[in-house]
C-alpha cells in the first residue's frame, strides 16, 4: 500500500491491515515497547541507540540500506552569501544542546555538513535510487 504520510501506514500496521512497514524509530518505538509491533531490522548502516540489540538488515545478510535523512533547500538562484548565512544558522541550531538531546531521543543523529557536501550527497542518493529503479524495472503506477 502507498501512503501520503507515515501516520496512516503505522495505523494500518498496528491494526493488522498490512504486514510490514518501514518507519522512523520515534514513530514505531512506543508500539514496539507496548508489544504491538515487532522490529525486524534497522535499515541504517549502523545499529540504533534506541534499539541496540536489533541488528541491521545488512548484518542479517540483506543488501538493504534505507537511511532517513533531511536537508534544507533554497531556490537555485539564492546568493551564496545568503546560503552561507542560512547554513551557519542551521548548523548552530542543530548543534544546540537541547536540539541534540531531542534528536537523540528520537534515534536521530545530527550530521550538519556544508552546502557542497550536501549537494554531493543528494546527487549520490539520486543516482543510487535511479539505478535501483532501473535495475528492478520499477514503473510508476498511474
Chain segment 3-45, per-residue pLDDT in tens: 887 788 888 989 999 998 888 777 788 888 899 999 999 998 8
Q: Name the region of 16 (left: φ>0; alpha: ψ -120 to 50; beta: rest).
A: left
**What pLDDT is attached to residue 1?**
59
> Per residue in 72-117, pLDDT tens?
899 999 999 999 999 999 999 989 999 999 988 888 888 878 899 9
58-63 contact pairs (CB < 8 A, 24+): none
Q: Which CATH number fits domain 1-67: 3.40.190.10, 3.20.20.80, 3.30.230.10, 1.10.274.50?
A: 3.40.190.10
**How far apart are the C-alpha atoms of 39 and 20, rounded to whole Å?**
10
- pLDDT interval class at 135 (50, 70, 90): very high
- Kindly report the pTM of this predicted structure: 0.70
With b for 16 or more beta-carbon neighbours within 10 A and e for fewer, the 119-135 pattern comes to eeeeeeeeeeeeeeeee
**What pLDDT is attached to residue 142?**
65
**What pLDDT is attached to residue 76?**
93
CA angle 45, 49, 52 (to 5 degrees): 85
Q: The C-alpha cell of 138 is what?
A: 520499477
Which residue ranges make up each domain of the chain? 1-67, 69-142
**What pLDDT is attached to residue 77?**
96
Amino acid at each position: 500500500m502507498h501512503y501520503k504520510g507515515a501516520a496512516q501506514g503505522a495505523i494500518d500496521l498496528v491494526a493488522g491491515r498490512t504486514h510490514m512497514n518501514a518507519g522512523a524509530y520515534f514513530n514505531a518505538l512506543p508500539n514496539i515497547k507496548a508489544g504491538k509491533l515487532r522490529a525486524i531490522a534497522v535499515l541504517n548502516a549502523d545499529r540504533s541507540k534506541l534499539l541496540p540489540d536489533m541488528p541491521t538488515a545488512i548484518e542479517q545478510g540483506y543488501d538493504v540500506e534505507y537511511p532517513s535523512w533531511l536537508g534544507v533547500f533554497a531556490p537555485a538562484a539564492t546568493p551564496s552569501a545568503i546560503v552561507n548565512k542560512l547554513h551557519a544558522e542551521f548548523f548552530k541550531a542543530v548543534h544546540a544542546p537541547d536540539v541534540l538531546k531531542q534528536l537523540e531521543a528520537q534515534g536521530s543523529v545530527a550530521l550538519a555538513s556544508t552546502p557542497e557536501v550536501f549537494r554531493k550527497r543528494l546527487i549520490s542518493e539520486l543516482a543510487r535510487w535511479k539505478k535501483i529503479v532501473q535495475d528492478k524495472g520499477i514503473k510508476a503506477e498511474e
